[in-house]
Structure 1
Amino acid sequence: MKKFILFFFLSLIFSKATFAQTTEVWIVRHAEKDKTNPEDKDPNLSDEGRIRAGDLATFLKKTKFDVAFSTPYKRTHQTLDSLIIPKVVNYNDPKSLVDSVKKNYAGKTVIVAAHSNTVLEIIEAFDGKRPKEMLTEDDYDYIFRLTVKDDNAKVKMDQFGRPHHL
């Protein structure tokens, strides 16, 4: 009987380790937006932003995404346009985004297009450690890769395209 109980508990531990899936989450701020009309609350990308969106595609050319998440703004969607993604889902807040990824896309590769004031908040919502204290209005060249397993996220920060920070 003791052997059976030991076998049962070892099986439970092994199955938990086997079924815990790793989700890869890439988070990027939208590329440079057109600022010619300060009244426009939903501007397109600027020429520079379209170049950066292409640079993003080049940076991620070997990554196959299962899904993308974007806020419902033109600039976040346009940032993702150069990537080949089978499905783009709108989100409105970091909590609903994280809940959706954990519930529906565990074990998948996901990209999120966000804003300067939400990128770091999203990383923390995935239980990742904030890699920078803040992002400024000029920080368009950072990209963050999260490796999420259970309630633990490892964060790697990188840069792509023309650097703002030399």
Structure 2
Amino acid sequence: MKRIFLLLWLATGLLQTTTAQQTTEVQEGATTYFLIRHAEKDRSDPSNKNPGLTKKGFFRADRWADLFSSTELDAIYSTDYDRTLMTASPTARKKELEIQLYDPSKLFSEEFQQATAGKTVLVVGHSNTTPAMVNAMIGENKYADMDDNDNGTLFVVTLMDGKSEVQILKLN
């Protein structure tokens, strides 16, 4: 069985788990999704409908890339907004992967499911689309929109044999 342990999270203390399980493993034959919200967005111009990231946001995007450095990713998806693309970019550069766009109005579409089946995928979204996509993946309305100041939650969704498992971790 192929296992990828995210021990970096535990060793560096960057993440706290909100579940009893202390490691995240990717199982052979499973589809694993890592879902995050974009890093801190620049709110200095309220009229800007597509803001980038703040300095803190760029730092967080780099920390996500460091965190995923020991994880084999097959694909990276992002919405087509500057803040999500800027959050995904450091990881994409390190992994030498092209960022693929997804339509947030068509969460977990059949096309997306087929393209990602059996893979390990990072998905960068928003405070509403990230938990909504987790809900679509598990077939339940379990997770509410994220707080506007929450830029450090990581949802890990594993789908295998018609079953789902969700872990929630926090990047401090």
What TM-score comes out, normalization by structure 1 length? Answer: 0.77
Mapped contact 2:135–2:143 kept (Cα < 8 A)? no
Code of the aligned partner of 2:122:
I
- Residue 134 of structure 1: how far off its partner (Å): 3.6
For 2:20, the equivalent position in structure 1 comes to none
Distance 1:30 1:103, change over 3 A: same
RMSD: 2.0
1:27-42 matches, within 5 Å, as: 27-42=35-50
Cα distance in 1 for residues equivalent to 2:77 and 2:100: 5
Partner of 1:76: 84
Which residue is equivalent to 1:117?
A: 128
Which of residues 65, 69, 72 is equivalent to 1:57? Answer: 65
Structure 1 residue 85: Cα displacement:
4.5
**Alignment partners' CA distance in 1, 2:113 and 2:32:** 11
Does structure 2 retain, via aligned residues, the 8 Å contact 1:24–1:148?
yes
Alignment partner of 1:23 is 2:31? yes
Whichever of the two has the greater Rg, that structure is 1
Q: How many residues matched?
A: 142
Residues 65, 109 of structure 1: 8 Å contact kept? yes
Code of the residue aligned with 1:117 in structure 2: it is N
> CA 1:68/1:52 → structure 2, altered by over 3 Å: closer, same or farther?
same
Residues 1-166 of structure 1: matches in 2 within 5 Å? 21-83=29-91, 84-93=95-104, 95-127=106-138, 132-160=143-171, 163=172
The alignment's TM-score, normalised by the length of structure 2, stands at 0.75
Structure 2's unaligned 5+ residue stretches are 1-27
* Amino acid aligned to 1:33: K
Q: How far apart, in 2, do the equivalents of 1:128 and 1:145 lie?
A: 15
Unaligned ranges ≥5, structure 1:
1-19
Rounded to whole Å, the distance in 1 between the matches of 2:70 and 2:139 is 24
Displacement, 1:129?
5.4
